[in-house]
Structure 1
Amino acid sequence: MRSLPIHTVLPELKACLAQRNSAVLVAAPGAGKTTQVPLSLLDEPWLNGRKILMLEPRRIAARSAAAYMARLLGERVGGTVGYRMKHESRISANTRIEVITEGILARMLQQDPALEQTGAVLFDEFHERSLQADLGLALCLEAQSALREDLRILVMSATLEAEPVAQLLGQALVIRSEGSMYPVATRYAEKPLQGRLEEHVVRWVSIALAQEQGDMLVFLPGAREIRRTARLLAERLPPDQVPVPLYGGLSLEEQQRALEPSPHGRRKIVLATSIAETSLTVEGIRIVVDAGWMRVPRFSPRTGMTHLDTVRVSRASADQRRGRAGRLAPGICYRLWTEAEDRALAERGEPEIRTSDLASLALELSAWGVAEPEQLAWLDPPPKAAYAQACELLEQLGALRPDRSITAHGRDMAALGVHPRLAHMMLRAEPLGLAAEACQVAALLGERDIASSRNGVDLRRRLEELNGQATASHADESALQRIRKEAGRLLAGLNRMGSAEAEADKPVSRDAAQPLRARIEPERCGELLALAFPERVAQRRADGRYVMANGRGAALPDGDSLGAEPYLAVAELDDAGTEGRIMLAAPLSLKALETLFADQITEGEEVYWHMDTQAVRARRLQKLGAMVLREQPIQASDPEQVAAALLAGIQAGGLDMLPWTRSARRLQQRIVFLRRFEPDLPDVSGEALLDDAQHWLLPHLYGRKSRGDLHHLSMDQALEAMLSWPQRAALEEQAPTHLTVPSGSRIPIDYSNPDQPVLAVRLQEMFGLAQTPRIANGRQPLLLHLLSPAQRPVQVTTDLASFWREAYFEVRKDLKGRYPKHYWPDDPLEAVPTRRAKPSSSRP
């Protein structure tokens, strides 16, 4: 066996684990930790013949690591070294090292919380921070603390920030190993890429193939980009340069083809997702072309949905990818981003526990007996909002009780090992005789959409393609084969659960032991989706869009074949805006909906504002969430409900629905003005009145039912009722409606601008008044609009004294010329004010 860098630290690691029950190993890519550490620990005395479990984040890495270790021992997989993953295992009674995918550990802990047959649990590539790895570590720490102090826990990674993990493990020792990477040159793009990513990738691949030797590994965001790039390369490359895909959805044989050395005389271009970042050694790779993007799931607590985001890689991921070129010889890495963009990369990716759907996690914790995540130790605890929403969903599915303890149905769901939604659907489908269909739907939803856009969003068409019932198929046959195989596995697991239950408890508590029909009924697909996504059952509205049971709006693509269906069960929709675009759904009959959700349908009476008739109406309703299934008009009898509904109509339509008179508007304006000086007065601005209508307006609405009835409402009285007697007196005194001017006229004051009330008065009526009139106990001068005999302003001022003193004589000349019959005295302060052209012989 050739010497590897990890060998230099294995003595220190073994000494540490002989004394302690935990450690952290940080080893650079290529150091050999994945295969050498488990083998080196096999003969340690503390292991005492028990197993080593090593967690790998991906199935392909688990198979590869197990095969390599078995080969080093001169054995076949399934001997001393084996692997176990969902629906697949290669182990025997002699297996001492089990390489498992992360979800398997939780299953094992649920069945055996003490892990009695296990001496050590190794978490490989922990820096990827998958949800299952975080959960597995939390459960192992709990088992170690409460049941198995001798259980060893070793966390391993190439790019891990070790100190927080060491602290979580109880101040564990951190051991570091340098790698043996060959030098890798790095090339950056000269400017940011624009246009289609695949075209740029093909161009750089062509350049690299012309300039460099060896096989190539190309990192792309997802399967869609891989397929497009593969088509472009197949058109442009010679036959001896072969593009080979590598992503999680491929079969084992297809994945293995990407890992094997290329045939003699041919160059291999492996087009991979982030699956190839760690753990795997792809034979022959000397060149890496990194597009710089990856696809990650993001869960939205607002909508309860997970969608895939395409995001920039982190610096840690970029370095891992670059290292793939230096495993076996010096290499080169082409990064399709600029050096400036490189400096802006995040150091590490976001842990899945912060961004993922937590329904499976919540179900696992409840099965473990944990009601609140805070009872366990986490590197990053689950976000409270997302966890609460997950528990709410599980309670709706019947998996949890209100105190978050698990139900019998929840335990059955957890045992199936699929997402809780799909597990609930499969279990509830059995009594309906739809177990086979449910397993096919579960397998379909776990795969990328197999249908072309020509098939629309109807999931029934996918089922038809899966079962060979479609008139024309556009789906990828290899994908169909994978889905059929997965559906068969799910059905077998469901049957095993039913058989075990039947043996343990007769008579059978559910119809699980009945023979399952072989005939598939795609037309009942909507019932199955409704079971899995009860909050996404949707009802068609008059405008052709849909409202879901959770109250959120949804819309079909234009022209979709499901557009006329009154009810849909929605499996997938986007997370954009307040109204989602439906991506995958199936029709559902009202009868089926009422049968499935009989215990959730509510009946009651509703008094509401009818927008079209502008009146209060009442109806008897059957509702499922926000959807109205049936309604019957009735007479509204409760005056409080009628008044409240009328108020809701006014708040929706705005205050202009009310019968505002000129007098009422002036009263409102006066109160608004005086409140500047007397803050104890109520706020009667339009916005405040609308917000506070419950208090000031509602008492005046009793006995009224429509907008027409509002015409008899006195807005003056409604506003005055908001004032106390002292406030009314203050209003009359400090914000009077009129002012008596020297001529004896009562002139109205305009309060439309509360910052500056206006008195518009003819200039001749103000003769003899030396100072500007004031209101609000002298705190506010009026803005005087001094008018000509034709009622046009000749001067606007708040300083009457200054006007008489400085401007009057110029104004007098002009007015005397235009209105010679009128009275224009030389001294306005000594003149007699008049409402006529000329004053009478004596003052009034």
Structure 2
Amino acid sequence: MSSLPIDQSIPELLEALKRERHAVLSAAPGAGKTTRVPLALLGADWLQGRKIVLLEPRRLAARGAARFMAASLGEAVGETVGYRVRTDTRVGPRTRIEVVTEGVLTRMLQSDPALEEVGIVIFDEFHERSLHADLGLALCLQSRELFRDDLRLLVMSATLETEAVAKLLGGAPVIECPGRVYPVETRYAARRLEGAIEDAVASSVLEALVAHPEGDALVFLPGAGEIRRTEAKLRAALAGRPVDVAPLYGSLPQEAQDAALAPSPAGRRKVVLSTSVAESSLTVPGVRIVVDSGLMRVPRFSARTGMSRLETVRVSRPSADQRRGRAGRVAPGVCYRLWTEEEDRQLAPVGTPEIREADLAALALDLAVWGVADPLELRWLDPPPAASYAQARELLRSLGALTDGGALTPHGRRMAALGTHPRLAHMLLKAESLGMAELAGELAALLSDRDLLRGEPARSPDVGLRIEALRGGPAAAFADERARERLLAEAKELRRALSATAAAGESAASGAAADAAARNPAAGAAARATAPSAAAAQAPAAPAADLAHACGILLGFAYPDRIGRSRGGGRYTLSGGRGAFIPEGQPLAQAEFIVAAELDDQGQEGRIRLAAPLDEAELDRHFSDLIQEQETVSWDAGAQAVRARSVRRLGAVVLRERPLARPDPDLVTQALLQGIREEGLDMLPWTRSARQLQERVLFLRRYDTEWPDWSDEALAASVSEWLGPYIAGMKSRADLQRLQLAAVLEASLTWEQRRRLDEDAPTHIVVPSGSRLPVDYSDPESPALAVRLQEMFGQPETPRIAGGRVPLTLHLLSPAQRPVQVTKDLASFWRSGYFEVRKDLKGRYPKHYWPDNPLEAQATRRVRPG
């Protein structure tokens, strides 16, 4: 084999692993670490014949690494070197190096926590920080602490904060390996990209092929859709030229992947259109040109909605640099970046670990199988976010994987053994008992991959249409044939896994029955009589009305929180409480009940992208355990009355409701009180006397806190205490108008308080003219008395209340009842202000009585004293 940069670092690595149980290898892209390191470890004494497990983040990289190592040994895959990925295993009795995807490692640990046959686990491309890699490392660390102190761990990465990983491993030595990178010229876009990314990519590729006549081009695009569209543009533009266009992404058939990764024949060039799969874990030979869209597609989980979506985002700085470096592996190269230098300065300095933003349901189930409820029992670089993890555990409980106390159930163990998302695993197991395992396998495959439909039919949210296409029906004419073949293989593999878990469950049940029979023959006979068998579990039930509704039933098992009922106009209320809609013009929007398998979580109402119909009879039959019968007595703001109903509901979806003839009177009263809290105290019949009573008490409270707080806020908060006893039998706002609110409020005062209230905060004051005038307490800081000036003649001082502590604010009025003076000091007014006012009033009201000495004059209500 030709020399690679990693070769000079391998002796140091071997020595480190001989001394220690762990190491961190930081090697630049292209250094050769993925394929050289496992082979170099085969002869290590400490391995003692055990296996080497090499983890790769993607199936494509796992297969490629295994094939390359096997070829370097002159062997076929499955001899010394093999691989295990989902739906594809190539290992044999002589296999010493197993290249696996990270989810496979979790299954291996769950079946054998000590990894007895494994000498070292190598985590490759750990900088990608996938959820499975973080989980696998956490489980391996605990396995080593509890079972295997000789298990060695090696973490390899091209771009990684090595200090943090070394510390997590317990002070591991760090080996640095420089890469062999030729100079790469970087070219930026002149202005910010607008329009379709495919147009800009195709244009840049064509420009680069002309400007640089040697070498192949590697193009980075966010996803398969963009790759297909760019491929079509380039094939049309390059027709007749010696340039091949090859897509490269994880779900492509093996032969298509091999074509993308093979060297170009003499006299021909190649343009490889890839997702981020070629960023670091794969070597594409002959590349001297990189065209980078700067975009990648990542899953984002929303704890608010409980849903994940694929989101197109900007790459991070390390990812952009790795992509650029691909142009300098074999010779000097060039990288076309489809973003400006200003945008480049804004790239995130590091990527976000998947564990921070992913759906954690599968991780929570894996930890439950491991025997861990609290993830903080393990060691993580980044622990799972508490809110997302709690939501994941709640989902598992709703699917029957966990008990209410959080313990793993036998159903949950079978779900985990299937190796798919817990929602889909639950659907598969439920379908098994209905004789619908084949359809469930097809649905699970469809929901785990990108849409197989193309063109206008892909706009339809109908899942049944996709099943029809998958089965070769008329809709197959609009299907991607490669995707169809892949999904059929995936569905077959899921059915095989389902059968395997059924057999394992039957074996476990038989073992438990045998143990019981040994201890108690009668109990053993009972266990045999009641234990379900795999054959019985697959006995068909009554068939569903049609394929569409069969899909709806199965999807309801996977997404019980997304069963929806129509609100009209294609809008639905989902059982989980969300609103959602089906775009206009889709026949499925006419369904009364649907199950939304895929929808976005944008805004208040998500757009339903995949769904199937249900009817109420199917809900009754298959989801009765989720349906609740409730008697509800609540305030109806629209009717302004208490509404008592018997409600049959599935989560937030109301199935049926009817009025309650004799609701509990106490519940009616409580609902009416809640209505008052929601609507405010204005619902009550506030008379002037009731408001004045409230104001008088609030006035006195300013000087003595033993008086109750009768502010609107406090009265609303305590409405059940002071009002509750007086509204028995009332149901509506109209009924409340019969209340004598002043009497109700006054009844909450003690006898002594009522006596003092009249003394210290009287409703009226008798003035010198003999008039009994009301006191205005609307301003508790300054109670006021409005009185004609002539009625106060002979009054030397301002009248006082609150036991003489508070002078009234006098609004002295003209004969026309207009204010001429406002004062709290009547004596001062008589001494000075009166004579100015008298002069003005005498001119305007000459017939009225305006004495020279107001203190000795007779007060009068008339024009002159009688």
- TM-score by shorter chain over 0.5: yes
Alpha-carbon offset, residue 360 of structure 1: 1.0
Query: d(CA) in 2 for partners of 1:290 and 1:191?
Result: 15
Alpha-carbon offset, residue 677 of structure 1: 5.2
Selected match of 1:485 from 482, 485, 489: 489
Q: 1:221 aligned to 2:222?
A: yes
Structure 1: stretches of 5+ with no match in the other structure: none
| Aligned AA (1:325) | A
| Aligned residues of 1:498 and 1:512 also touching (Cα < 8 A) | no
| Aligned residues of 1:24 and 1:174 also touching (Cα < 8 A) | yes
Query: d(CA) in 2 for partners of 1:756 and 1:473?
Result: 85
Cross-structure match for 2:139: 139
Selected match of 1:576 from 593, 602, 605: 602
What SS is found at the alignment partner of 1:303? Answer: coil
| Aligned residues of 1:565 and 1:587 also touching (Cα < 8 A) | yes
Structure 2: stretches of 5+ with no match in the other structure: 511-527
What SS is found at the alignment partner of 2:115? Answer: coil
What SS is found at the alignment partner of 1:712? Answer: coil
Selected match of 1:650 from 676, 688, 692: 676
Query: d(CA) in 1 for partners of 2:805 and 2:476?
Result: 85
What SS is found at the alignment partner of 1:348? Answer: coil
Query: d(CA) in 2 for partners of 1:816 and 1:145?
Result: 105
What SS is found at the alignment partner of 2:394? Answer: helix
Cross-structure match for 1:371: 373
Selected match of 1:509 from 528, 533, 539: 533
Q: 1:427 aligned to 2:451?
A: no
Cross-structure match for 2:272: 270
Which deviates more, 412-421 or 603-612? 603-612
Alpha-carbon offset, residue 40 of structure 1: 1.0
Cross-structure match for 1:172: 172
Alpha-carbon offset, residue 411 of structure 1: 1.6
| Aligned AA (1:552) | R
Alpha-carbon offset, residue 479 of structure 1: 2.4
Alpha-carbon offset, residue 199 of structure 1: 4.5
| Aligned AA (1:149) | D
Alpha-carbon offset, residue 735 of structure 1: 4.8
Query: d(CA) in 2 for partners of 1:321 and 1:831?
Result: 104
| Aligned AA (1:405) | A
Alpha-carbon offset, residue 682 of structure 1: 4.3
Which deviates more, 165-174 or 304-313? 304-313
| Aligned AA (2:286) | G
Which deviates more, 98-107 or 206-215? 206-215
Identity %, equivalent residues:
59
For each residue in 1:446-472, what CA deviation from the matched residue of structure 2 results, as whole angstroms up to 9, or x when unmatched? 122344565532222222222233468
Cross-structure match for 1:404: 406
Which deviates more, 817-826 or 137-146? 817-826
Query: d(CA) in 2 for partners of 1:682 and 1:226?
Result: 73
Summarize the alignment of residues 121-520 of structure 1 with structure 2, pairs less than 5 Å apart. Answer: 121-213=121-213, 214-234=215-235, 240=241, 243-451=245-453, 455-470=459-474, 473-499=477-503, 505=510, 508-511=532-535, 514=538
Alpha-carbon offset, residue 707 of structure 1: 3.0
**CA shift in 2, pair 1:759/1:128, >3 Å:** farther
| Aligned AA (1:370) | V
| Aligned residues of 1:181 and 1:327 also touching (Cα < 8 A) | yes
Alpha-carbon offset, residue 47 of structure 1: 0.7
Alpha-carbon offset, residue 353 of structure 1: 1.6
Summarize the alignment of residues 622-633 of structure 1 with structure 2, pairs less than 5 Å apart. Answer: 622-633=648-659
| Aligned AA (1:466) | L
| Aligned residues of 1:760 and 1:785 also touching (Cα < 8 A) | yes
Query: d(CA) in 2 for partners of 1:202 and 1:304?
Result: 38
**CA shift in 2, pair 1:196/1:471, >3 Å:** closer
Alpha-carbon offset, residue 334 of structure 1: 3.3
Alpha-carbon offset, residue 688 of structure 1: 4.1
What SS is found at the alignment partner of 1:26? Answer: strand
Cross-structure match for 2:740: 714
Cross-structure match for 1:525: 551
Which deviates more, 620-629 or 303-312? 620-629
**CA shift in 2, pair 1:749/1:445, >3 Å:** farther
What SS is found at the alignment partner of 1:563? Answer: helix
What SS is found at the alignment partner of 2:626? Answer: coil
| Aligned residues of 2:261 and 2:284 also touching (Cα < 8 A) | yes
For each residue in 1:770-810, what CA deviation from the matched residue of structure 2 results, as whole angstroms up to 9, or x when unmatched? 77766667777766554443334455667778877887666
Cross-structure match for 2:90: 90
Which deviates more, 8-17 or 804-813? 804-813
Cross-structure match for 1:566: 592
Query: d(CA) in 2 for partners of 1:73 and 1:215?
Result: 28
Q: 1:51 aligned to 2:51?
A: yes
Alpha-carbon offset, residue 418 of structure 1: 0.6
For each residue in 1:556-575, what CA deviation from the matched residue of structure 2 results, as whole angstroms up to 9, or x when unmatched? 33343233323222212222
| Aligned residues of 1:70 and 1:77 also touching (Cα < 8 A) | yes
| Aligned AA (1:576) | Q
Alpha-carbon offset, residue 767 of structure 1: 5.4
Query: d(CA) in 2 for partners of 1:216 and 1:534?
Result: 47
For each residue in 1:610-665, what CA deviation from the matched residue of structure 2 results, as whole angstroms up to 9, or x when unmatched? 55654444344433333333444332253211211222333344433322222223
What SS is found at the alignment partner of 1:67? Answer: helix
| Aligned AA (1:364) | D
Query: d(CA) in 2 for partners of 1:746 and 1:475?
Result: 93
Alpha-carbon offset, residue 734 of structure 1: 5.4
Query: d(CA) in 2 for partners of 1:705 and 1:683?
Result: 27
Selected match of 2:662 from 636, 648, 656: 636
Which deviates more, 735-744 or 459-468? 735-744
| Aligned residues of 1:458 and 1:585 also touching (Cα < 8 A) | yes
Cross-structure match for 1:8: 8
Cross-structure match for 1:25: 25
| Aligned residues of 2:548 and 2:613 also touching (Cα < 8 A) | no
Cα RMSD for the two superposed structures: 3.4
| Aligned residues of 1:226 and 1:245 also touching (Cα < 8 A) | yes
Query: d(CA) in 1 for partners of 2:698 and 2:277?
Result: 67
**CA shift in 2, pair 1:733/1:292, >3 Å:** farther
| Aligned residues of 1:284 and 1:328 also touching (Cα < 8 A) | yes
Which deviates more, 618-627 or 17-26? 618-627
Query: d(CA) in 1 for partners of 2:267 and 2:795?
Result: 111
Cross-structure match for 2:688: 662
Query: d(CA) in 2 for partners of 1:333 and 1:831?
Result: 105
Alpha-carbon offset, residue 444 of structure 1: 1.0
| Aligned AA (1:384) | A
| Aligned AA (1:121) | V
Query: d(CA) in 1 for partners of 2:569 and 2:733?
Result: 26
Query: d(CA) in 1 for partners of 2:342 and 2:796?
Result: 74
Alpha-carbon offset, residue 101 of structure 1: 0.5
Which deviates more, 253-262 or 418-427? 253-262
Alpha-carbon offset, residue 202 of structure 1: 4.5
What SS is found at the alignment partner of 2:589? Answer: coil
Alpha-carbon offset, residue 104 of structure 1: 0.5
TM-score between the two structures when normalised by the length of structure 2: 0.88
| Aligned AA (2:88) | E
Which deviates more, 673-682 or 105-114? 673-682
Which deviates more, 575-584 or 36-45? 575-584
Q: 1:106 aligned to 2:117?
A: no
Cross-structure match for 1:117: 117
Which deviates more, 3-12 or 204-213? 204-213
Which deviates more, 252-261 or 86-95? 252-261
| Aligned AA (1:457) | P
| Aligned AA (2:401) | A
| Aligned residues of 1:215 and 1:287 also touching (Cα < 8 A) | yes
Query: d(CA) in 2 for partners of 1:775 and 1:265?
Result: 109
**CA shift in 2, pair 1:369/1:801, >3 Å:** same
Count the aligned residue pairs.
840
| Aligned residues of 2:548 and 2:612 also touching (Cα < 8 A) | no
| Aligned residues of 1:86 and 1:104 also touching (Cα < 8 A) | yes
